[in-house]
Amino acid sequence: MAESRLHQLSARGQSVWIDYLSRDLLETGELKRMMEEDAVVGVTSNPTIFQKAISQGDAYDEQLRMLAEREQDAKEIFLHLAVRDVENALDLLAPVHQRNAQDGYVSIEVDPTLAYDTKATYEEAIRLHEWISRPNLYVKIPGTEPGLKAIDDCIADGRSINVTLLFSLQMHEKAMEAYVRGLERYVEAGGDATKVRSVASFFVSRVDTETDKRLEAIGSEEALALRGKLAIANARIAYQNYKQVFSGGRWEALEAKGALPQRCLWASTSTKNPEYRDVLYVEELIGPHTVNTMPEETIQAFQDHGEVRGDTVENDLDEAQALLNEKLPAVGVDYDDVVATLEKEGVQKFSDSFQELLDGVRAKRETVAA
């Protein structure tokens, strides 16, 4: 088989993950095929993804029927359904993880309604790690202020964490600090730094969606000319910050003990605006030691016509800084307000999806029980 475009992307040092998981994906062999043909080496999931998977078709009905006989709580039923999928995906990806300790991961997310509760988030993350107990498991915790404290504590307990819902450079820097500080605590207590990993899920396309809406409301020629630019600039600056944090004396002390950096994971990389190239947020953020987690349509689009043009995440850095520091403020767009709005809306969307998911589980439970 000729080397695919996604294999070329992988050869540049960017790991290809997918942002969805379902029982059908596992049982039909589709995930295994994607690992071979699409260079896929990781999987993430979230409540919205599971809501779609469980509500469609009958793949979960048999397990639901068994659970309905002994379990009333919709969240516990959902967790049993999700954990089975995650465990099967983890086992399938285990050889990948054995070859490369930074890949082969599958992520499961804590209850997003806990995003502003440090203690409850920490307790649920630990519970999921103990329940699933695989070395290639990531538990996803939102990078809110309360979430960051839970992340620090989980890392200090030797648990691998995917920090999700990062939109701002400031919160990304805090996520990196939580990882480094948690590792320092873990190593100081006698922990093995080679056993703990983390990624920082930095959301991309939604940044343009929110910013473009504001630029169009302003409506000036100068404002309209800035559409479709902030998401990529934001991620490129985040990557520069990543390189700075994971170098120098403090990090080298941990690296000497086997620690690996918290890679940037580009999330929300499907193109929302049909006027933009459908692989824009893949082509423009290629770089070593990064992850791009893609939906199915983006995987297919990139395999069809994506271009690998070197380490594009390093391009136009002066322009990226000028956009944030000068051009957007000049036309009246407040970066801090954009990213704060996105974080708040992101938590709310995931919380709403989780409630919808639980309602769907209750309805399905009643149907299969009957």
Nearest to 346 by CA among 209, 168, 200, 166: 166
Q: Say how far apart CA 96 and CA 79 lie, in whole Å.
A: 25
Q: Which residue numbers are catalytic?
A: 140
Q: What are phi and psi of 200, to 5 degrees?
A: -110, 110
What tokens were used for 243?
């390189």
In 6-123, beta strands by DSSP E: 14-18, 40-43, 106-109
Phi, psi of 246 (to 5 degrees): -95, 50
Q: Tell me the HSE value of 66 on the side-chain side, using a 13 A CA sphere.
A: 5
Three-class SS state of 291: strand
- Look-up of token digits 């009643």: 366
Amino acid identity of residue 4, one-letter, is S
